[in-house]
Amino acid sequence: METFDYVIIGSGSAGSVLTNRLSEDAGTTVCVLEAGPRDWHPYIHLPAGFIKTFHMKSINWAYQQEPGPYTGGRSIYAPRGKTLGGSSSINGHIYNRGQRQDFNTWAQMGNRGWGYADILPYFRRMERRVGEGEDTYRGRDGSLTVTTMDWKDPLCEAFMEGAVSLGIPKNPDYNGAIQEGVSYCQRTIEKGLRMSAAKAFLHPARKRPNVHVRTHAHATNIIFEGKRAVGVRYLKGGRGGTPVEVRASKEVILSGGTYNSPQLLQLSGVGSPELLKSHGIEVRHALPGVGEGLQDHYAPRSVARVKNIRTINELRQGWHLWVEALKWATTRRGLLSLSPTMVYCFWHSGETTESSDLQLTFTPASYKEGVQGQLEDEPGMTVASWQQRPESRGYVRIRSADPFAPPIIQTNYLTAELDRRVVVAGMKLARRLLSSAPLAPYYAYEDFPGPKVQSDEELLAAATERGTTTFHPGCTCRMGPAESSWAVVDDQLRVHGLQGLRVVDASIMPRMISANLNASTMMIADKASDMIRGKAPMEAVKLAS
């Protein structure tokens, strides 16, 4: 049986960063197991290919959530990347770190070294920011290129003017000192191509002789000797493939993401004893928090019909698309270099005293109802609005002992009363933004939720009927002190009560942050790499309070 120092399960946002950092020591061997294929598909790299990879089962786990109490009986689609780079290879490229208080809250929950001043050096170390930003906050010589959307669209400009007319200031850098305000979005795009975690971190590391990346390697169990994780069992080629075991002389690191990491722990006998026994799985280690606490952002998308201007809906049709394809081929710019979202707006709902609790995005396009990611034929513009820090929590639980059965995903969106109020407030703000004076020349009428929907109850009903995930699930293997019944890992990301096993990915977040999750997931992995290597943490940044 082959033995490596570290076996990493999953080559996604976290796994890619870890592979790079751990293999910097030439004497350290790292094996990465990835269930999906290599990231060769051109749609991964073309920014607008997002619309295609969204449903592409060869590189996407394509999960379905369970219907929840506030999803109107709908089972919401839950894509996840299944290729080198994981979800960073199919995501919407937005780079958004979150607010200072998000991470200070993690520290207050008992996680030493995770306050904002502690984690900021890691955000900086990874980043190559091209564009505005103060050096206190931004990195300039890391491997992850972050640029600002360079398509200056008149509808986007009018939307931002509309925000300003409502008292929302322009903010040149929402990843700087303050998140609040409106601006074009920042993206992990370089020269018109996606900068996935694989591109920034994994592929450079693969050139090292001490790195062994295995694709089509679906991990089915963590192998234990007593309470110590000593290796991983996987099927080469996926279901029905050849069983293989690899050993880890130092550690097994689980980076399978928010859905698959708790699933693999449960399949390996780590989790709630009742759940494991109900599926005939022997309990290796009782840890009731595994899979519990799932959080995600839930977004209704408000749509207005547009007049007097061309939107993306028309640009992707007929000969326009050929012109755009030529433009991308020759200049790496234009429609095919765009992200699904173009403008970001952070503001208050008025429902809480905490800093901005609403995130709104603007796109000069509209999408087919019920067919996520597919553009409509008619011109439209869309504002998605969501609550930044929801309180509702759900779970991820195995459906059966079959490692290929998709896990049960119950997000429980809007079950907390505060969440319902803030989501309704977000829809009201979206309506005010779309009908602001600067957008008036282009605004034809409100299509969704529609003018008949006025009261809070009606808005909530509309949110229930049409809201969707923003693809930010986290918090299913939460970091916290051993005495917290919900905690799965400690603040060094070691699984409580076990040895030789860490979880390093979006699942360890103890509480949802005010952001999309890719940036912070990579930060988590970068910080974890220092812990694993026994290095001192980077010096905390001195910030004015």
Q: Does 36 participate in binding ligand FAD (rule CB under 6 A)?
A: yes
- Please spell the DSSP secondary structure of 393-425, one letter per residue: -EEEE-SSS-TTSPPEEE--TT-SHHHHHHHHH
Q: Does 291 participate in binding ligand FAD (rule CB under 6 A)?
A: no
Q: What is the per-residue burial (b if ≥16 Cβ within 10 Å, else e) of 35-58?
A: bbebbebebbbbbbbbbebbebee
Known active-site residue 216: no
Single out the residue of 9, 107, 336, 396 in contact with ligand FAD (rule: CB under 6 A).
9
Pick 292 or 505: Cβ nearer ligand FAD = 505
User: Reduced to 3 states, what is the DSSP secondary structure of residue 384?
Assistant: strand
Q: Is the separation of the CB atoms in 343 and 156 below 8 Å?
A: yes
Q: Does 359 participate in binding ligand FAD (rule CB under 6 A)?
A: no
Pick 65 or 436: Cβ nearer ligand FAD = 65
- The pair of structure tokens assigned to 369 is 């109802």
Pick 231 or 449: Cβ nearer ligand FAD = 231
Q: Does 510 participate in binding ligand FAD (rule CB under 6 A)?
A: no
Q: Does 173 participate in binding ligand FAD (rule CB under 6 A)?
A: no
Pairing of strands 394-397, 292-294: antiparallel
- The pair of structure tokens assigned to 251 is 């550690």
> What minimum distance in Å lies between the beta carbon of 484 and ligand FAD?
21
Q: Is the separation of the CB atoms in 511 and 389 below 8 Å?
A: yes
- Neighbouring-strand partners of residue 495: 489
Single out the residue of 109, 253, 506, 532 in contact with ligand FAD (rule: CB under 6 A).
506
Segment interacting with ligand FAD, rule: CB under 6 A, options 92-100, 242-250, 311-319, 354-362: 92-100
Segment interacting with ligand FAD, rule: CB under 6 A, options 81-89, 116-124, 292-300, 407-415: 81-89
- N-terminal to C-terminal alpha carbon distance within the chain: 54
Q: Is 418 exposed, middle or buried (0-12, 13-18, 19+ CB in 10 A)?
A: middle
Q: Is 233 exposed, middle or buried (0-12, 13-18, 19+ CB in 10 A)?
A: middle
> What minimum distance in Å lies between the beta carbon of 361 and ligand FAD?
10
Q: Does 408 participate in binding ligand FAD (rule CB under 6 A)?
A: no
Q: Is the separation of the CB atoms in 142 and 188 below 8 Å?
A: no
Single out the residue of 7, 10, 43, 202 in contact with ligand FAD (rule: CB under 6 A).
10
Is the link from the previous residue into 449 a cis peptide, with omega within 30 of 0?
yes
User: Reduced to 3 states, what is the DSSP secondary structure of residue 97?
Assistant: coil
Segment interacting with ligand FAD, rule: CB under 6 A, options 75-83, 279-287, 352-360, 493-501: 75-83
Q: Does 35 participate in binding ligand FAD (rule CB under 6 A)?
A: yes
Catalytic residue of the set 41, 203, 472, 496: 472
Q: Does 381 participate in binding ligand FAD (rule CB under 6 A)?
A: no
Q: Does 87 participate in binding ligand FAD (rule CB under 6 A)?
A: yes
Q: Does 446 participate in binding ligand FAD (rule CB under 6 A)?
A: no
> What minimum distance in Å lies between the beta carbon of 171 and ligand FAD?
18
Angle of helix 154-165 versus helix 417-434 axis, rounded to 10: 110
HSE value, Cβ hemisphere, 13 Å, CA-based, for 207: 5
Q: Does 98 participate in binding ligand FAD (rule CB under 6 A)?
A: no
Segment interacting with ligand FAD, rule: CB under 6 A, options 34-42, 99-107, 113-121, 348-356: 34-42
Single out the residue of 158, 211, 219, 532 in contact with ligand FAD (rule: CB under 6 A).
219
> What minimum distance in Å lies between the beta carbon of 61 and ligand FAD?
7
Give the residue from 204, 201, 229, 231 showing the smallest Cα distance to 219: 231
Single out the residue of 290, 462, 517, 523 in contact with ligand FAD (rule: CB under 6 A).
517
Site of interaction with ligand FAD (CB under 6 A): 9-15, 33-36, 54, 79-82, 86-88, 90-94, 96, 217-219, 255-258, 260, 264, 471-472, 505-506, 516-519, 521
Give the residue numbers annotated as catalytic, written as ranges.
472
